[in-house]
Amino acid sequence: MRAALARLSAGVSLHAFIEASTDWAFHMSESPGRQLELAERAMQNAMKLMTLASKAGLGSPHPFVPKPYDHRFRHPGWQAPPFLLWQQGFLAIQDWWDHATDHLRGLRPENADRTRFMARQILDTMSPSNFPALNPEIIEAFLASGGRNLTDGAGHFLRDMVKTLTQTHDPAPEGFRIGEDLACTPGKVVFRNDLFELIQYDAQTAETMAEPILIVPAWIMKYYILDLSPHNSMVNYLVRQGFTVFIISWCNPAAEQAGLSLEDYRTAGVMAALDAVGRIVPGSKIHAAGYCLGGTMLAIAAATMARNGDDRLASITLMAAQVDFAEAGELLLFADESQVAFLEDMMWDQGYLDRPQMARTFSTIRSEDLIWSRAVRRYFLGQEELPTDMGVWVADTTRMPAKMHGQYLRGLFLENRLTAGRFAVEGRVIALKDISTPMFAVATETDHIAPWKSVYKTKLFTDCDLVFVLASGGHNSGIVNEPSDRRSHYRLTHRPAGGLYTGPDDWIADASPEDGSWWPAWKDWLQEKSSGSRQAPATGAPAHGLPPLDPAPGRYVLQM
C-alpha cells in the first residue's frame, strides 16, 4: 500500500510536508511579533506597488526584482504597463512569503525551509508569466504568427504527454549521436563486469605521464558528461596534455540488480577498476578523480585504502563531491525519515528509483526555470528546444538500484555517517583524516546539488595536502569548463598538510579570482604530482587477461 501511495505522489512523502507546514503554522500562531512584522511588510509592499502605479511605472526604479536564476520576466514587454504591475505584484507576494517562511524561534529550520519550498511551488503555478493573456511575450508571438504559436505549442504538449505516459525517449538528434558526436574520444573498453565497463583512451602523444588517471563518474547520470563534444571534453583535454586516461562507464541497473549496494560500487566498481588499471600500467601509482557521487565513493574508497595501508593512489581529485551532508542544500528538503522510508517502499516495489522520479526532484528545486519557463517556451510560444550536448546528456538519465540508493539516502544524506565517524567498511569505521594522499577539491559557485560551502567542508575533515578551487558556474557547467571559455573564472588556494582550517566566508574574502578555466591549473598540479613521462602504454593487457573488447564508448552507455 505504501509503495502504491508513493507512486501516486511521485515519491514525495506528503506526511513530511504536512508535518512541516503544521509546525510552521503553530509557531507562527504563537509569535505575535512576527505577525506584526508580516503585517507591516504587507503594508510596505502595498505602498510600493501603489507608488509604482501612480507613476505608471515609467522611469521609476522597480521595488522588487526577480531572483538571479528566475528568467520568466526577461522580455522587454514586462517593463511596460500593465504587465509591469502584474509582474511587480507577483514579486511582492513572493517577497512576503519569503519573509513569512523565514526561520522562527522554536521552529525547526528544516520545517521552515520545507514550508518556503511549498509556498514557492504554489506561487510559481500562479505567476502571470504562465497565462497567455497576462504574458506580453506570448501576446506578441500570437500577433506576429496569427496564433500559430499556440497550435504549435499544443502539438508539443501532446507529444510530450504521450512520451511521459509511455516512458519513451526521442532518439538523439542529428549531430548529437553517442559515440559519433558525443563520447567520441577514441579508446577501447578493456574491462567489463556486471557493474561497469572500463574505458582506456588512445594516447595522442608519443610519451605520457608515468601515472595514469582513473576517473570515477557519478552513476546517477551517464559518464559522458566528462566526454561531451571534442571541444569541451575533459577526457580529450587530458589525453591531449599527455595523460593516460581511464574512465568508468556504469551500467544502467534493471530491476534484477535491485540488491546492488554501496559496498558493491566500492569493491566491484572503484577497487576493481584500480586493479585493472594497475595490471595495464604496472608499477605506477594512479591519479584518481571522482565527480559528484563518484567523488563521494572515491573518498570512501581512499579512506578505506589509507586504513588498510594501500598506497596505490598518487593523488585524489574530488569534483563537486560532498563528504559531509549537513549543508547539502535544497536536496535536504527531500531527506527525512518519512521521505526516505517512502522512497524505500517505492524502490522495494520497483527494484530501483526510476529516471522520471529523480528528474522531477531536481526540476522542482529550480521550478521557475526548469519547469515553468520551459513550459511557456514550448507550449505557449511554440518554440522547439534547440539541442545541445549538455541537454542531450541531461535527458539521457539512469536508474538507481534500490538497496544502494536507500543506503546512500539513509547513511550519507540523512544520518551523515561519513564525517560523524559512523561509516563502517568491512565492519570497521573509516576516517577521512587517515588520507595522506594529496587532494584537489573543486566546487562551483551556483551549484544547487552540491553547494560550494558543503564541498568546502572537505577541508574541515581532512589533514592532507589540499588545493581547493571554487569555479564559476553550476554543478555541471562549472566542471565542464573548457579553457576556450573566456567568461569563466575560479579561485584557488593551497593548504599544506596539517594546515589550520579557515572558514568559507573568510576564505572567499581572501581568495582572489583568476580569469579562465580551472582545467590548466589542475593539469599543472597533476604533472607536479607525477614522477615524469614514459612511453605511452599499450591498450589493455592481453597477457594479464585484459584484451581490448569494444571501441569506446562501449555498450553500457547505450543502455536505456
Characterize 233-262 residue by residue with b for buried, 16 or more Cβ atoms within 10 angstroms of its Cβ, and e for exposed.
bbbbbbbebbbbbbbbbbbbbeeebbebbb
C-alpha to C-alpha distance for 321 and 292, rounded to whole angstroms: 4
Q: Which residue in 364, 259, 264 sits closest to 9, CA to CA?
A: 364
> Residue 316: beta bridge partners?
288, 439
C-alpha to C-alpha distance for 22 and 1, rounded to whole angstroms: 25
Q: What is the 3-state secondary structure (H, E, C) of 323-388?
A: CCCCCCHHHHHHCCHHHHHHHHHHHHHHCEECHHHHHHHHHHHCHHHHHHHHHHHHHHCCCCCCCC
C-alpha to C-alpha distance for 30 and 8, rounded to whole angstroms: 35
Count of beta carbons in the 10 Å neighbourhood of residue 433: 14
C-alpha to C-alpha distance for 358 and 347, rounded to whole angstroms: 12
Active-site choice (184, 251, 292, 464): 292
C-alpha to C-alpha distance for 505 and 470, rounded to whole angstroms: 12
Please say whether the beta carbons of 355 and 398 come within 8 A: yes
End-to-end CA distance of the chain: 28
Please say whether the beta carbons of 539 and 199 come within 8 A: no
Residue 238: all three cell numbers together: 587530458
Q: Which residue in 217, 207, 274 sits closest to 241, CA to CA?
A: 207
Please say whether the beta carbons of 488 and 471 come within 8 A: yes
Residue 107: all three cell numbers together: 521552529
Count of beta carbons in the 10 Å neighbourhood of residue 306: 20
Q: Is 292 a catalytic residue?
A: yes
- Length reported for the chain: 560
Residue 554 burial (C-beta neighbours within 10 Å; 0-12, 13-18, 19+): buried
Positions annotated as catalytic residues are 292
